[in-house]
Amino acid sequence: MSSNSFGDNEWVSIGPEGGYVQAFAINPQSPDTLYAGTTSGIFKSTNGGTNWTPMGPTSTYVQALAINPQAPETLYAGTTNGIFKSTNGETNWAAINTGLTNTNVNVLAINPPIPETLYAGTLGGGVFKIQQTEPIVSVPTTTAWGTMLLIMFLALMALYFLNKIRNSHSQL
Whether 141 is covered by a domain: the verdict is yes
Mean pLDDT of the chain: 81
State the residue range of the domain holding 50.
21-170
Sheet holding 34-38, edge to edge: 21-26, 34-38, 41-45, 53-55
Whether 77 is covered by a domain: the verdict is yes
Q: What is the CATH number of the domain that holds 26?
A: 2.130.10.10
How far is Cα 151 from Cα 28, in angstroms, rounded to an integer? 21
| pLDDT tens for each residue of 108-157 | 999 988 999 999 999 989 999 999 874 444 444 444 555 555 666 666 66
Whether 7 is covered by a domain: the verdict is no
Please say whether the dihedral angle defined by the alpha carbons of residues 23, 27, 28 and 32, taken in this order, is positive or negative: negative
Displacement of CA 151 from its chain's centroid (Å): 14
Amino acid 13: pLDDT:
87
The structural domain count of the chain equals: 1
